[in-house]
């Protein structure tokens, strides 16, 4: 007596079709006049799918400091979002009433803090001077928060209140510019000066940006005490 052994064929594995594909198929069939029944919770399924366009574009690499709120990565000029730092030529008064170059020291401090580490910036948009507006980090730490907490920049409330808590800490600690008297950068650009300085005509922000450059390393510890 002979036997025939039958082997059951293994079912082929099919790759699951995502809901986006299902919806595309439904639209295609609808155009062709063919109906397709979709699951009742198709809206919930679609809502759970990640939006490819929701991620902000990023720029990463070694950065050059232009001033304390503007950096350059691979030729891309990036203005730090939500903060405003003293301009490169700006001076402030320390607790003893003496002038110190708060703009230069702030830029130097940022340069030293970065310490040649890669900088990552999430780009939120572009300003009218064609600079990218971004939120940046170094070693996983927020660049904006570090600047404001140490008194090297102010929370730019006109555009964001995200760094107001950091500014409150700096004010209480009398860190950086908060150690004495200073003119807010946005007023300084309009020509306002300390009483011990001569008033000047307002300079356009783009001219300040063009004239700015990383100053000599010098002191980065903060305002001089005497």
pLDDT digits (tens, 9 = 90+) for 56-87: 899 999 999 999 999 999 999 999 999 999 99
Residue 55: pLDDT band (50, 70, 90) is confident
User: Which pLDDT does position 3 carry in this prediction?
Assistant: 38
Residue 36: pLDDT band (50, 70, 90) is very low
By residue count, the chain amounts to 226
Q: CA 161, CA 93: separation in Å to the nearest integer?
A: 26
User: Which pLDDT does position 197 carry in this prediction?
Assistant: 86
The answer to whether the predicted template modeling score (pTM) of the entire model surpasses 0.85 is no
Is 53's pLDDT higher than 60? no
Q: CA 185, CA 195: separation in Å to the nearest integer?
A: 16
Is 158's pLDDT higher than 80? yes
Q: What fold does the segment set 58-211 form as a domain? A: OB fold (Dihydrolipoamide Acetyltransferase, E2P) (2.40.50)
Token pair 């730019």 is at which residue?
156
Is 97's pLDDT higher than 90? yes
User: Which pLDDT does position 56 carry in this prediction?
Assistant: 82
Average the pLDDT over 186-215 and give the result: 69
Write out the two tokens for 213.
């450059």
CATH 2.40.50.90 location in the chain = 58-211
User: Which pLDDT does position 203 carry in this prediction?
Assistant: 59
């Amino acid at each position: 007596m002979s036997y025939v052994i039958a082997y059951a064929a293994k079912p082929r594995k099919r790759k699951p079709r995502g809901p986006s594909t299902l919806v595309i198929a439904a639209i295609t069939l609808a155009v062709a006049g063919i109906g397709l029944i979709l699951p009742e919770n198709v809206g919930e399924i679609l809502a759970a799918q990640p939006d490819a366009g929701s991620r902000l574009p990023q720029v990463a690499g070694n950065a050059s400091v232009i001033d304390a709120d503007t950096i350059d990565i691979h030729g891309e000029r990036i203005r730090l979002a939500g903060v405003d730092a003293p301009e490169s030529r700006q001076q402030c008064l320390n607790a003893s009433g003496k002038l110190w170059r708060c703009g230069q020291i702030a830029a130097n401090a940022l340069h030293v803090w970065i310490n040649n580490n890669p900088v990552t910036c999430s780009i939120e948009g572009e300003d009218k001077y064609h600079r990218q507006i971004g939120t940046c980090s170094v070693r996983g730490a927020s660049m904006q928060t570090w600047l404001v907490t140490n008194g090297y920049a102010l929370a730019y409330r006109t555009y964001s209140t995200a760094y107001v808590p950091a500014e409150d800490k700096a004010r209480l600690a009398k860190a950086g510019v908060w150690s004495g008297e200073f003119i807010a950068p946005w007023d300084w650009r309009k020509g306002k000066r300390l009483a011990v300085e001569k008033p000047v005509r307002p300079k356009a922000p783009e001219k300040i940006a063009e004239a700015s450059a990383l100053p000599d390393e010098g002191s980065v510890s903060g305002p001089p005490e005497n």
